[in-house]
Structures are given as C-alpha cells and as structure tokens.
Amino acid sequence: MVMRKTAAGWAAALGALAAVSGAVASPITFSATFGSRAAQATFDTSGSDLVITLQNTSSADVFQPDQILTALFFDVSGPALGLTRTSAVVPPGSTTWFGITDPGGVVGGEWAYVEQLVGAPLGAAYGISSTGLGLFGPGDVFPGSNLQGPASPGGLEYGLTSTADNTVTGNTPVTGSYALVQDTVVFTLSGLPGGFDPSQAIRNVVWQYGTSLTETRLPEPGSLALLCAAGLLVARRRPRS
C-alpha cells in the first residue's frame, strides 16, 4: 500500500511538472494594412518583461502627419497588469530623422504608456503613444530625456514614419519640423505575472496615426471582423418600419 501511494505521488508530481513545462509563452504579431498605411506590433516576453516592437511597415512615401504612426492600443485578458515602464529604444536598423536620441537609441522621454485608459479607440484599456491624444501626459513617459519640446508626449515628434519615406518630400511637419523615427521602436515593460502568454492574452489591437483620435486608425483584422459582426447584429435587431 505504501509503495502504491508513493508511485501515485510521483505520477502526480511528474504530471504537474509536465503541465508547467508545457506552459510556454509564445510571441504574437499583429498587422494591418489600409491603402498606403501598414503597421505591425509584436508582443513577446523576456523573463517578467513584456517586449513590444512597434513598426510602421508601409512602403509608401509619407507626405503629411496623418501618415505618421503615433500610437498603439490593445487589451489584455484578465485583470490589469500593473506594468512598470522600463525602456523605449530605436533598435539597430532604424533611423532617427531631424533629432537625436539618448545613448543607446533611447527615446523613452518621447513615448508614454498608460493602463486602464478611458476613451481610447475601440475601448482599449492599454496604450503606448508619442503624442497626447487627450489620453497621455508627461507623467506617463518611459525613462529618458525630453528630446524635443514641449513636454512630451505631445505633437508629432518621434512618431514612426514609413520604411520607404523620402524625408525631403511632403509638407513641413514631416520634412524637418519634428523628429521622426524610421521605422521601429521597441518598448519594454516589467512586472508580468507568472505564466503570462502574449499569444493567448493580447487582443483588440489598433494603431493610431497623427495627433488626434479623429485621424486615421487601423484595427487589426480580428478586431475589425468583430466590429463588423456586432454592427450586423445590431442592424438585424432593429424593428422594421
């Protein structure tokens, strides 16, 4: 009897270990395209950090501010994460135009992160932005210098221009008035709970362009499909006249 209990105990322990080892967090990439605009966001983990790579993947030239990618919004399944802003960095292969970075490509003082947002596109609770949009303020920025005034986030500065932007073409805001990044910034947020899996938890992703919520936004196709389905449902419930 004792031996049978011991064997059962080992079996349970091995089963629990297998379950834990199988719970591997997986990165997930969202993308969207509409006309000349295209954007991508990859959510990954590194230990207890959430790493978000935001890219303006358009191959079109940029002529005006509403073609500059300035914000990313998303939701997370479950309770609020309560993450800490760690860094915002222009990675190797990307370029900063008309401005500088802190050492190591750091542009944290120009980008903000907020949880439990109210009034964000598609009702998203989480957001990262280089501009205010009525949702982000100076107290929400990542570590780093205010590289271009006024107090950030505000204006178009350090938004993401396209991969193929010719920076001498276009109107004044996109040809020298504001520092721009071509075309990627990597954000690190610390304090993830154990077992967090981006591929299962991240949803409702939307990209915002320009400096106003009334300007162009791109929902990822899954969110757009849900919105369309909800619209059809509402239409079907309307009483006939």
Separation between Cα atoms, residue 69 and residue 77, nearest integer Å: 25
Q: Provide the residue-wise pLDDT of the chain in tens; the chain has 241 residues.
A: 443 444 444 344 434 433 344 458 899 999 999 999 999 999 999 999 999 999 999 999 999 999 999 999 999 998 899 999 999 999 999 999 999 999 999 999 999 999 999 999 999 999 999 999 999 999 999 999 999 988 879 899 999 999 999 999 999 999 999 999 999 999 999 999 999 999 999 999 999 999 999 999 999 987 544 444 333 333 333 333 3
User: Which pLDDT score, from 0 to 100, does residue 77 have?
Assistant: 94
Separation between Cα atoms, residue 178 and residue 107, nearest integer Å: 14
User: Which pLDDT score, from 0 to 100, does residue 227 have?
Assistant: 43
Residue 43's nearest CA partner among 32, 34, 31 is 31
Q: How do residues 146-155 score in pLDDT, each as one tens digit?
A: 999 888 798 9
| Structure token digits, residue 186 | 């990597």
pTM: 0.84
User: Which pLDDT score, from 0 to 100, does residue 223 have?
Assistant: 57
Residues composing the chain: 241
Residue 91, SS3 per DSSP: coil
Residue 136's nearest CA partner among 78, 124, 147 is 124
CB-based contact 126:75 (threshold 8 Å): yes
Q: In the chain, where are the structural domains located?
A: 26-233
